[in-house]
């Protein structure tokens, strides 16, 4: 009965054009029988595919290796929650093999119900932090669930978080496929120590061990390291467990798809398919749910690409390297995308200099501000269909995050091309802004290093000399260098808050104030001669490690000499007297602010927030500093002591979470807040306040039309009351 109900609901959905019919029937089926997923999976040879990026493509490739969608139970639409999996199984013949893409948050539940034969574990990185939760939390849940499954695990050995999660499995095939994005794996998930990669910048595809027999990556404090490989990808050659060297020839472009195919081939081998035959079948796949397809809109050729987080963008930027075509980027912030696009500041958009980029989608203004500080010529056209036609080129690269990509695909399928057409009909689209040549951002360098090759590519030139200097007002004749230090971005860089440092340094440089941006990683010596220090948000374990490292007093001494500190979220808590670790136990803070943080009342503050800044701060900016806007995502309750003042009074959202209605805190030149965004991207007057604190005078105004448009949009979107912002602090499933 449940199966018949599923098929009927899916059919009605498709005929009424309410959706694709890949989910609604499954939801109905699970209402009728909560155990239906396990029932439908029984008696099948089943593979699960999970990870932050590459799930849909790897699932499609493995399905091709097993005979194609017509012979395999799979969701071609990428519906990867339990309802979508139920619908996919119900639509396939009894006993047909199943290849199921599974949302990383739901993998423990699905693996427990389906009892798979093989599980492919691709990667783990930051994504949808407001919905999914923090990356290490997922890794711990994977590890707990996979320790009890008899399934063979095919795991990416170049992702330390995946290795941690898979290490307790009964049988593991370790595959070396490379890992360009490493910023979520700098801290050891076992002991909290520092993970060192032997081949910085290589993508991780090199030898299993280096010449000194060190692992390709490993923790400096414990024995956790890259395991010995069972299979490896070198360029386009896959060495499989049998020792064969197989050429990986795909129609799909990019290094990431070679990695996806390697994982799928090893998974197919576990299921009894010869890896060489599997790769031949995969070669016929030339697009995956529109990804990598080229479509014609009249005379315009558009290649469709999808990137939904910094790790995905790292791969696509390599794919785009060397091209000249304009790029349209569509950014939404719906539930499936994550409501907070602060992650845009973790993407190395600086690599797109020299190409026109059109910012489109619901959150085009967030992207436009990011592109301004990246020095990328850009224009802003909110409607994607119109944006494609505004480039003046015959060929365009389109990159969208999840719902923006799906929205454009639906628009492409809905009607024929009409020059000048918009979503609402014919006519010229509204274009906000024209291509804007942006001044080059400031010189950027790591602390006391000349070999930096980590994280977003902000290193432009290396200054040979650092000169200690007094705080001086802005001047065009001979001002000394303003030094902006981003503190431990490898530990306190989960929410895009490193962008605050970029913004401060750029805004100084645009006013002819020489500035340098220092990214002080944990294996660097924290410079004490900085003028402004930026601390960001981070996960529980890295937050504790950052506090321990900063306990050496270097930052305190800088503050005592007059340095300014902006501390956001986890950094705000660390700057206080004490804060809770993952278990709720108090940890000692730096004592820069008289605030104390404890665990909140079991619910997490997630969503848009706004606060009226304290009157003294408004006076310091001569009235420039209006209502502050940002995105909060924390589970703390921060109480202010007598020597700290609230940064602002909450008008929307939760703020400090202690029931006082306050947001953030400040004392002297130390400022703390829970506002992400990054907060300075949305509030340029706040950035200028900090610059004024550092230099001794408020800087002159800049033409901040894009920042003001973003700020106004975000203030209009704020919820009416604080209770709207409270969401359960739990992972889906």
The pLDDT tens digits for 133-147 are 678 889 999 999 999
pLDDT at residue 463 above 60?
no
Q: Scan for tokens 């994005």, then name that residue.
A: 181
Average pLDDT value for residue range 30-36: 85
The pLDDT tens digits for 473-510 are 333 334 589 999 999 999 999 899 999 999 999 999 99
pLDDT at site 541: 87
pLDDT at site 132: 59
pLDDT at site 419: 55
Give the Cα separation of 529 and 375 in Å (integer): 27
Measure Cα distances from 25 to 7, 96, 111, 665, 673 in Å: 6, 20, 21, 50, 44
What the block records as the tokens of 89 is 């199984």
Give the Cα separation of 175 and 159 in Å (integer): 10
Average pLDDT value for residue range 406-410: 93
Counting beta carbons within 10 angstroms of the beta carbon of residue 472, is it exposed (0 to 12), middle (13 to 18) or buried (19 or more)?
A: middle
Task: Kindly report the pTM of this predicted structure.
Answer: 0.86
Q: Model confidence at 213, in pLDDT bands (50, 70, 90)?
A: very low
Give the Cα separation of 319 and 323 in Å (integer): 9
pLDDT at site 720: 55
Sign of CA dihedral 153, 156, 157, 161: negative
- Phi and psi for 504 in degrees, rounded to 5? -60, -45
Q: Scan for tokens 């499989």, then name that residue.
A: 240
Q: Report percent pLDDT > 70 for the chain.
A: 83
Alpha helices for 356-493 (secondary structure H)? 364-374, 384-389, 402-414
Give the Cα separation of 604 and 608 in Å (integer): 13
pLDDT at residue 239 above 70?
yes
Give the Cα separation of 604 and 725 in Å (integer): 9
pLDDT at residue 19 above 80?
no
**Lowest-confidence region among 26-35, 397-406, 419-428:** 419-428
Nearest 5°: the CA angle 87, 98, 42 is 80
What the block records as the tokens of 683 is 């509030």
Average pLDDT value for residue range 542-560: 95
Q: Scan for tokens 């499936």, then name that residue.
A: 336
pLDDT at residue 123 above 80?
yes
What the block records as the tokens of 339 is 């409501």
- Close Cβ partners of 544 (under 8 Å, ≥ 6 residues apart): 192, 581, 587
- Phi and psi for 443 in degrees, rounded to 5? -55, 140
pLDDT at site 214: 54
pLDDT at residue 602 above 50?
yes
**Lowest-confidence region among 92-96, 160-164, 398-402, 448-452:** 448-452
Average pLDDT value for residue range 601-629: 93
- Phi and psi for 727 in degrees, rounded to 5? -125, 150
**Lowest-confidence region among 106-120, 340-354, 466-480, 546-560:** 466-480
**Lowest-confidence region among 86-100, 195-209, 336-350, 375-389:** 195-209
Q: Which residue has the higher pLDDT, 332 or 187?
A: 332
Q: Scan for tokens 């002297």, then name that residue.
A: 668
Domains, the chain: 1-34 (no CATH), 35-282 (3.40.1190.10), 294-414 (3.90.190.20), 443-449+475-727 (3.40.50.880)
Q: Which residue has the higher pLDDT, 489 or 200?
A: 489
Q: Scan for tokens 């990986």, then name that residue.
A: 248
Of how many residues is the chain composed? 733
User: Looking at the DSSP assignment, which residues form a beta bridge with residue 360?
Assistant: 330
What the block records as the tokens of 242 is 């049998």
Average pLDDT value for residue range 408-433: 56
Average pLDDT value for residue range 263-277: 98
Q: Model confidence at 12, in pLDDT bands (50, 70, 90)?
A: very low
**Lowest-confidence region among 170-174, 368-372, 434-438, 463-467:** 463-467
Q: Calculate the average pLDDT of the chain.
A: 85
What the block records as the tokens of 508 is 């100084």
Q: Are 212 and 241 in contact (CB under 8 A)?
A: no
Q: Are 101 and 47 in contact (CB under 8 A)?
A: no
pLDDT at site 448: 36
Q: Which residue has the higher pLDDT, 78 or 360?
A: 360
The neighbour count for residue 724, using CB atoms within 10 Å, is: 14
Q: Scan for tokens 């999914």, then name that residue.
A: 132
- Close Cβ partners of 350 (under 8 Å, ≥ 6 residues apart): 374, 375, 376, 441, 456, 457, 458
Counting beta carbons within 10 angstroms of the beta carbon of residue 560, is it exposed (0 to 12), middle (13 to 18) or buried (19 or more)?
A: exposed
pLDDT at residue 21 above 70?
no
pLDDT at residue 731 above 50?
no
pLDDT at site 432: 43
């Amino acid at each position: 009965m449940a199966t018949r109900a599923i098929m009927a609901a899916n059919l009605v959905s498709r005929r009424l054009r309410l959706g694709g019919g890949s989910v609604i029937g499954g939801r109905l089926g699970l209402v009728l029988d909560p155990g239906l997923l396990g029932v439908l999976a029984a008696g099948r040879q089943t593979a699960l595919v999970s990870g932050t990026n590459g799930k849909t493509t790897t699932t499609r490739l493995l399905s091709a290796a097993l005979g194609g969608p017509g012979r395999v139970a799979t969701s071609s639409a990428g519906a990867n929650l339990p309802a979508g999996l139920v619908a996919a199984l119900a639509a396939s013949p009894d006993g047909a093999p199943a290849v199921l893409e599974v949302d990383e948050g739901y993998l423990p539940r699905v693996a427990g119900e389906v009892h798979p034969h093989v599980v492919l574990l691709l990667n783990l990185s930051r994504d949808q932090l407001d919905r999914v939760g923090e990356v290490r939390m997922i890794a711990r849940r994977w590890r707990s669930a996979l320790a009890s499954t008899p399934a063979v695990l095919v795991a990416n050995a170049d992702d330390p978080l995946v290795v941690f999660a898979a290490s307790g499995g009964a049988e593991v095939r370790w595959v070396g496929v490379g890992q360009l994005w490493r910023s979520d794996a700098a801290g050891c998930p076992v002991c909290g120590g520092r993970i060192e990669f032997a081949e910085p910048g290589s993508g991780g595809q090199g030898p299993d061990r280096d010449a000194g027999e060190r692992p390709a990556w490993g923790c400096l404090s414990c024995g956790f390291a890259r395991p010995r490989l069972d299979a490896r990808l070198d360029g386009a050659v896959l060495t499989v467990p049998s020792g064969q060297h197989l050429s990986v020839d795909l129609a799909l472009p990019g290094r990431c798809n070679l990695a996806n195919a390697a994982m799928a081939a090893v998974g197919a081998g576990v299921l009894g398919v010869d890896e060489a035959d599997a790769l031949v079948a995969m070669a016929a796949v030339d697009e995956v749910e529109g990804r990598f397809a080229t479509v014609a809109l009249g005379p315009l050729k558009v290649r469709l690409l999808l990137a939904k987080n910094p790790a995905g963008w790292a791969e696509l930027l390599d794919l785009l390297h060397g091209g000249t075509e304009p790029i349209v980027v569509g950014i939404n912030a719906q539930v499936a995308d994550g409501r907070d696009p602060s992650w845009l500041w973790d993407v190395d958009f600086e690599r797109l200099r020299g190409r026109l980029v059109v910012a489109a989608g619901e959150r085009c203004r967030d992207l436009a501000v990011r592109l301004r500080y990246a020095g990328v010529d850009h224009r802003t056209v909110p409607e994607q269909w119109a944006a494609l036609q505004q480039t003046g080129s015959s060929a365009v690269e389109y990159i969208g995050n999840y719902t923006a990509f799906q929205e454009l695909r639906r628009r492409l399928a809905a009607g024929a091309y009409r020059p000048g057409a918009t979503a609402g009909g014919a006519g010229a689209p509204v274009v906000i802004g024209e291509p804007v040549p942006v001044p080059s951002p400031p010189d950027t360098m790591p602390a006391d290093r000349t070999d930096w090759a980590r994280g977003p590519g902000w290193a432009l030139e290396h200054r040979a000399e650092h000169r200690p200097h007094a705080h001086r007002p802005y001047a065009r004749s001979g001002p000394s260098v303003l030094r902006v230090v981003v503190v431990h971005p490898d530990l306190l860089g989960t929410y895009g808050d490193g962008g605050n440092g970029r913004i401060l340094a750029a805004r100084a440089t645009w006013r002819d104030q020489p500035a340098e941006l220092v990214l002080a990683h944990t294996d660097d010596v924290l410079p004490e001669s900085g003028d402004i220090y930026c601390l960001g948000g981070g996960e529980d374990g890295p937050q504790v490690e950052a506090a321990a490292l900063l306990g050496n007093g270097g930052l305190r001494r800088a503050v005592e000499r007059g340095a300014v500190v902006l501390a956001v979220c986890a950094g705000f808590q660390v700057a206080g007297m004490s804060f809770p670790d993952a278990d709720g136990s108090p940890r000692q803070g730096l004592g820069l602010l008289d605030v104390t943080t404890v665990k909140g009342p079991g619910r997490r503050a997630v969503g848009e927030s706004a606060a009226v800044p304290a009157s003294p701060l408004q006076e310091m900016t001569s009235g420039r500093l209006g209502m502050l806007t940002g995105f909060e995502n924390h589970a703390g309750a921060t109480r202010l002591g007598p020597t700290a003042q609230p940064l602002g009074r909450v008008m929307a959202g939760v703020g400090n979470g202690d029931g006082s209605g306050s947001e953030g805190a400040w004392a002297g030149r130390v400022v703390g807040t829970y506002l992400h965004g990054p907060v300075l991207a949305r509030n340029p007057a706040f950035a200028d306040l900090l610059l004024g604190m550092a230099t001794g005078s408020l800087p002159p105004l800049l033409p901040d039309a894009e920042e003001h448009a973003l700020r106004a949009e975000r203030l209009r979107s704020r919820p009416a009351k604080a209770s709207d912002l409270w969401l359960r602090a739990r992972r889906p499933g």
